[in-house]
Amino acid sequence: GTPLAVLSAIARIARSGAFVKDGAHLEALSAVDTVVFDKTGTLTTGTPTVVGVRTVDGTTAEGLLVLAAAAESSSEHPLGRAVVAHARAQGLPVGPSAGFAYEPGRGVTATVAGRAVTAGNRALVPDAPETLEGQGTATAVHVALDGRYAGSVLLADVIRDTARQAVAELRGHGLRTLMITGDQEATALAVAAELGIDDVRAGLLPDEKLSAIDAERAAGRTLAMVGDGVNDAPALARADVGIAMGSGTDIARESADIVLISSDLDDLVRTVRVARRARRIVM
Ligand code: ADP
Ligand code: MG
pLDDT at 191 over 60: yes
**pTM for the whole thing?**
0.84
Q: In sequence order, what E strands does the chain have?
A: 18-20, 34-37, 49-55, 98-103, 107-112, 115-120, 138-145, 148-156, 176-180, 199-201, 223-227, 241-245, 258-260
pLDDT at 187 over 80: yes
Q: Calculate mean pLDDT across residues 107-131.
A: 94
Q: Which residues pair with 54 in a beta bridge?
A: 152
User: pLDDT tens across 45-58, in order?
Assistant: 988 999 999 999 89
Report the residue among 84, 121, 139, 251 best suited for mutation to probe ligand 1: largest number of ligand atoms under 8 A from its CB.
121
How far apart are the two ends of the chain, measured CA to CA in Å?
15
Helix (H, G, I), strand (E, B) or coil at 87: helix
Ligand approaching nearest to the C-alpha of 229 = 2
CA–CA gap between residue 203 and residue 192 (Å, rounded): 14
pLDDT of residue 133: 66
pLDDT of residue 231: 87
How far, CA to CA in Å, does 220 sit from each of 165, 211, 214, 256? Answer: 27, 14, 10, 21
* Domains identified in the chain and CATH numbers: 4-45+159-282 (3.40.50.1000), 49-156 (3.40.1110.10)
pLDDT of residue 283: 59
Report residues whose beta carbon is within 6 angstroms of any ligand 1 atom: 38-40, 72, 75, 77, 79-80, 105-108, 119-121, 139, 141, 181-183, 229, 231
pLDDT of residue 46: 87
pLDDT at 254 over 90: yes
Q: Which residues surround ligand 2, an ion (CB under 5 A)?
A: 38, 40-41, 228-229
Annotation says 214 is catalytic? no
The proportion of the chain whose per-residue pLDDT surpasses 90, expressed as a percent, equals 78
Q: Calculate mean pLDDT across residues 33-44.
A: 96
pLDDT of residue 229: 87
